[in-house]
Structure 1
Amino acid sequence: MCALCYCSLGFAQTTPKISSAVDTTFIKIGDQLKFKVTVEVDSTDMVIFPEGQTFSPLETVEAFATDTTRKKDRITLLKTYALTQFDSGSYKLPAQRIDINGKGYFTDSLLINVATVPVDTMAQKMYDIKPLIQVEKTNPGWWKILLVILAVLALAAALLYWFVFRKKPLTNAEKEALLPPYDRALLELKKLDNSKYLIQDEYKQYYSELTDIVRSYLEEDANVSAMESTTDELIDKLELLKDAGELELDKDTINQFKNILRTADLVKFAKSKPPTNVALQDRKVVEHIVVKTHEAIPEPTLEELMAQEEYQNELARKREKKKWVIAGTTAIGLLLIAGIALIGYYGPVKVWDTISGHPSKLLLDNEWVASSYGYPPISLESPEVLVRQEVEIPAEAKANIKDLQTFLFREDKSFLTLATTSTTFTQPVEPDFEKTIDQLLRNFEAKGAKNIITKQEEFVTVSGVKGLKTYGSAKFKVPDSEELVKGKYAILSFGGKGFQQQVLLTWEDGDTYAEEIFNRVLSTVEVKTEV
């Protein structure tokens, strides 16, 4: 059976009617009570109910949707709030302002009693707080850069393999080019047999290819410069080689070759047209000359064979070196392209800071942690988990401070500090922000800070909770040094009767990544009193 306290403010029919009620005035710690506000107004009136933590020292758990009932030209609005408290005692539920057409109307204040919950320590064992667990750090920003680099290298390796190192199947022309000069000459003569030059009366083309085959063979296999020589010059060279004993050709073979060359000259330059049987016989004579020349070439000596092998090995080494030069150039080119693309997209400073491991950027790119700290709790996101600090309440402050909980994260390399402090007082009094902020600034000075500049403005969280933002700049002392570094700081202060919550941030001036961290932390700060 729950008690119901009820209060009402009544006016004429055309004026608003406001009433408020709670379903109980007695709860246990952590239990919830329902606070209901009923407003009867004209259908054209604008009504604004209270939002956020306006019920302090009681805490808002949930604000339910407004229930609307219409009767002719009047409407009745019912707004329900779930409230709780986690400390025992008697608490005053303050009067709540209801805005109707810009004019404020107030509900009555009520007294709520919160009782403790007895704990049977004999029936349930008590355990110590578990120690902190070290969690391995992650750098999500690095794996993106690494993924891009690996993708570029994989692409470079694939291209190099496909165009440089892959053994490609040889074409027929490439296979023929690899044949020895003698075999290649015989193969080309057989191809000439299958041609249609003689059938189509293309004697000039026929004799040009016939003489080119034998000239090319002599140049490659007999080392005679035959392609650019005239008929008489070529015959003279063959006779000189014969007389010197370097080419063992008989006189008849040389004369036959001389006759074929002269016939070819007449066909090409004088447009002569020998009988078909003569052309076919000349083709057989050329094959005979190739065979005789091949037989007449002396066998290479051992020194010549070794020199030729060394030459081939040198060619192979040059080809292999060329492949690696192409591979290295391609890889460097792709890396340069990837680097230029990254610099063009992110900017040179950000790319360099990523490669060099800028401490603030590592924190910004880290996997952030969302958590609540202290009681009353302060919720925010941070690059690292804030660690509880053992803070002893001064003897002179114990009469006013019931509990003090501080959590801290500090990165000395980037001079970044993030801390939260939740304070509960022994009496339900309003916090003195100015006094606390003055104490924090004196702590800065005690640690060597100079030239502290202070500004103040209102700060509102995303959920609409209002607080005080104190910010400015100073010259902070570098740890373990006498050097001073210009930095910035910000202090967010919230609170109500019996408690105070503060968030402190400091960072180096000009550190753009630290500025981004600061803005992201501020965008996630929420002061809630739910456990």
Structure 2
Amino acid sequence: MKSKNFRYNNTNASVFGLPFSGLFTFAFLLLPLFLAAQVTATIDSTSIKIGEQITYKVQVETDTTNVVVFPEGQTFLPLEMIQSYAIDTTKEDAKYKLIKKYGLTQFDSGAFTIPRQKIVIGTKVFQTDSLQIEVKNIVVDTTKQGLYDIKPIIEVEKSPSQWWKYLLLTLLVLSLLSFLLYWFIWRTKPLTKEEKIALLPPYDRAKLALQNLDETNYLQNAELKDYYSELTFIIRKYLDEKVYDRALESTTDELITRLNILKDGNQIDITKDDIKNIETILKRADLVKFAKSAPDVELAKLDRNTIDLEIDQVKEALPEPTEEEKLQDQKYQELQEKKQKRNKIIITAAIVVGLCIATFVGFGLKYGFGYVKDTIIGNESKELLEGDWVTSDYGFPAITISTPEVLKRDNPPIPEEIKAKLQMTVFSFGNVSEALSVKLSTLKVSPQEGPEKQGGQEEIDLNQVSEKAIQQLENQGVSNLLVKKEKFVTPNNAEGLKTYGTASLPVANTDKYYDGEYVLLHFTAENVIQEIAITYRKGDVYAQEIAERIVNSVELVKEEVAKKEQEEN
């Protein structure tokens, strides 16, 4: 990219590569129009009090075939237009007499000048005379009117926000999730009958099982096989838990042999008769279950009582548990409780993580995973995009623009040799080293005295202005600029030049660069050059959307627009 340097000298001063001489020589061109002037402007008073309204009246006489365009907006600055009245039209022969009135005011005292206003009649542009007005202070007689302190600031209640709805919804979801986790996992559930029986000591469980056997109808229905099956299971289960841990799967002979060995080894203090009684009942039960033997019901009852008695005998024969065994049992119970608690924690964590993943996937499929991630983790550009935007006017003539943050005034240095010839205002947010930067500048050049160029005023070349703006970016450390240009039209039909493309933007306090994009908008009117510069990181979808939104919000009143529309019509 080849760019020209700024040049300043006394004989032929220039701004943005454009000479001052010849830029503002309208007088020669506009003189014939003023000689045939059909426009007059008057005010109803040249002296008003602060805040008092004056009426500015423009009167136009023209052919009925011409279309007349009156000024609109705040073109009367430093006076403020507070009302624009309807046009009063009367017809005299083949001409129209149009009267347009404006209500103007000023809230500062002093002498002010209402600037010349442009009136478009057909294809010609007419200018009114500038008018002087004096705004006087209101004299207050303090002897009759008391003075009061300034009233304190009154806090204004903000418009209601909807954040509480999202907070309420979040609390409801969390409350529901917590309740479900408590109810199904952490709640101490009431024990079922089977669970209560399982917690009983082996002896009590065996006694209870015998009582339940008595309540069955096996004997009344002569179902001796089922009766003996449960009866032998009761004694085998008790022996399995307290004497021999393989009593359930052992045969009758194996179990009896084991009991005798334990007795001979003095590990259990049970008599031979007790062992013999158990053997007799077990073998009778085997005959009933496998040989289809049918003993008398009374004998079955007697066997039941014998088993009841032998359970008592075995309990008394068992040695008392030592303190070490009791301690081991206590530790086992504690380990079981810790295990249950750990399992509950694992299940709860798995459910919460699963719900979080499901929520992330659900919102990701709907809104995009990048958007959900940035919402959770946070993204500076996203916060700017979704924050409260500010729409304001900057510079004079004003440019209306919407930005995520208020643009703050800068005071760029201007060389002394041209300071008297320039009026520059700059408002900015961020810089080229940050994720997003916005700069708005207005350059107003005072008309220069000297010979006029042939052909009248020299038009400002926005392409040269764009070249100088590119050079300014390079001076700020931006490199590898890819430049594209196209015509740009604002929503209110003001035309300008759009320069945009990709570039390498510097990383602050390093010699590194990151891929970025930039947009430059340039406008011109008479002795004013206006520029909007935006830079942002490439690939940042939020910053790109911010830039597009800013560009689409730009509005400014260009005086040439009305004339061009008239020519097209």
Same fold (TM over 0.5): yes
- In structure 2, distance between residues paired with 1:82 and 1:316: 88
Give deviations 1:364-399, integer Å, cap 9, x for gaps. Answer: 354444443334433333233222112355444445
- In structure 1, distance between residues paired with 2:293 and 2:241: 30
Question: Residues 282-297 of structure 1: matches in 2 within 5 Å?
Answer: 282-297=303-318
Q: Which residue of 2 aligns with 1:208?
A: 229
Tell whether 2:428 aligns with 1:404. no
Structure 1 residues 355 and 427, CA, compared in 2 at 3 Å: closer, same or farther? same
Structure 2 counterpart of 1:95, from 119, 141, 145: 119
Structure 1 residues 157 and 213, CA, compared in 2 at 3 Å: closer, same or farther? same
Q: Which residue of 1 aligns with 2:487?
A: 458
Is contact 1:60–1:81 with CA below 8 Å preserved after alignment?
no
Q: CA deviation at 1:172?
A: 1.7
Aligned partner letter, 2:213: L
Q: Which residue of 1 aligns with 2:401?
A: 380
Q: Which residue of 2 aligns with 1:511?
A: 540
Q: Which residue of 1 aligns with 2:472?
A: 443
Is contact 2:506–2:513 with CA below 8 Å preserved after alignment?
yes
Structure 1 residues 246 and 501, CA, compared in 2 at 3 Å: closer, same or farther? same
Question: Relative contact order: is structure 1 or structure 2 higher (C-alpha 8 Å, sep ≥ 6)?
Answer: 2
Tell whether 2:180 aligns with 1:193. no
Q: CA deviation at 1:181?
A: 0.8
Give deviations 1:484-524, integer Å, cap 9, x for gaps. Answer: 55533222234545655432212233433321221121233
Q: Which residue of 1 aligns with 2:565?
A: none
Aligned partner letter, 2:330: E
Tell whether 2:135 aligns with 1:117. yes
Give deviations 1:274-311, integer Å, cap 9, x for gaps. Answer: 33333333322222121221111111223333333333
Aligned partner letter, 1:410: G
Is contact 1:56–1:496 with CA below 8 Å preserved after alignment?
no
- Aligned residue pair count: 475
- In structure 1, distance between residues paired with 2:372 and 2:176: 21
Give the SS at the match of 1:196. Answer: coil
- In structure 1, distance between residues paired with 2:285 and 2:431: 92
Tell whether 2:263 aligns with 1:261. no
- In structure 2, distance between residues paired with 1:80 and 1:259: 129
Give deviations 1:161-197, integer Å, cap 9, x for gaps. Answer: 4443332221221111111111111112112222233
Aligned partner letter, 1:89: T
- In structure 2, distance between residues paired with 1:256 and 1:21: 137
Question: Residues 6-405 of structure 1: matches in 2 within 5 Å?
Answer: 88-96=112-120, 110-111=128-129, 113=131, 115-118=133-136, 160-350=181-371, 359-401=380-422, 403-405=423-425
Tell whether 2:437 aligns with 1:417. yes
Aligned partner letter, 1:456: K
Give deviations 1:457-510, integer Å, cap 9, x for gaps. Answer: 333334444443333344444444444555332222345456554322122334
Q: CA deviation at 1:354?
A: 5.6
Structure 1 residues 319 and 501, CA, compared in 2 at 3 Å: closer, same or farther? same
- In structure 2, distance between residues paired with 1:148 and 1:231: 67
Aligned partner letter, 2:260: E
Aligned partner letter, 1:200: N
Give deviations 1:399-456, integer Å, cap 9, x for gaps. Answer: 544x432211115653522012245555699994626544433322333444544443
Moved more, 291-300 or 379-388: 379-388
Aligned partner letter, 2:223: E
Q: Which residue of 2 aligns with 1:44?
A: none
Is contact 2:497–2:522 with CA below 8 Å preserved after alignment?
yes
Is contact 1:494–1:527 with CA below 8 Å preserved after alignment?
no
- In structure 1, distance between residues paired with 2:293 and 2:71: 112
Structure 1 counterpart of 2:516, from 479, 484, 487: 487
- In structure 1, distance between residues paired with 2:180 and 2:331: 32
- In structure 1, distance between residues paired with 2:334 and 2:198: 19
Structure 1 residues 424 and 475, CA, compared in 2 at 3 Å: closer, same or farther? same
Query: Identity of aligned pairs, percent?
Result: 35
- In structure 2, distance between residues paired with 1:427 and 1:147: 64
Aligned partner letter, 2:439: A
Give the SS at the match of 2:119. Answer: coil
- In structure 2, distance between residues paired with 1:213 and 1:232: 18
Give the SS at the match of 1:527. Answer: coil
Structure with higher strand content: 1
Structure 1 residues 414 and 450, CA, compared in 2 at 3 Å: closer, same or farther? closer
- In structure 2, distance between residues paired with 1:202 and 1:370: 94
Moved more, 246-255 or 323-332: 323-332
Give deviations 1:243-277, integer Å, cap 9, x for gaps. Answer: 22222223333333233223322332333443333
Is contact 1:60–1:84 with CA below 8 Å preserved after alignment?
yes
Is contact 2:268–2:318 with CA below 8 Å preserved after alignment?
yes
Is contact 1:505–1:518 with CA below 8 Å preserved after alignment?
yes
Aligned partner letter, 2:306: V
- In structure 1, distance between residues paired with 2:307 and 2:235: 7
Structure 1 residues 89 and 34, CA, compared in 2 at 3 Å: closer, same or farther? closer
Give deviations 1:220-261, integer Å, cap 9, x for gaps. Answer: 122342211222322222222222222222333333323322
Q: CA RMSD in A?
A: 5.0
Give the SS at the match of 1:263. Answer: helix
Gaps of 5+ in 2: 1-37, 61-65, 90-95, 143-160, 449-456, 559-569
- In structure 1, distance between residues paired with 2:140 and 2:416: 33
Structure 1 counterpart of 2:554, from 518, 525, 530: 525
- In structure 2, distance between residues paired with 1:252 and 1:180: 26
Is contact 1:375–1:423 with CA below 8 Å preserved after alignment?
no
Is contact 1:454–1:472 with CA below 8 Å preserved after alignment?
yes
Moved more, 334-343 or 426-435: 426-435
Give the SS at the match of 2:275. Answer: helix
- In structure 1, distance between residues paired with 2:299 and 2:59: 124
Give the SS at the match of 2:430. Answer: strand
- In structure 1, distance between residues paired with 2:416 and 2:134: 27
Aligned partner letter, 1:407: F
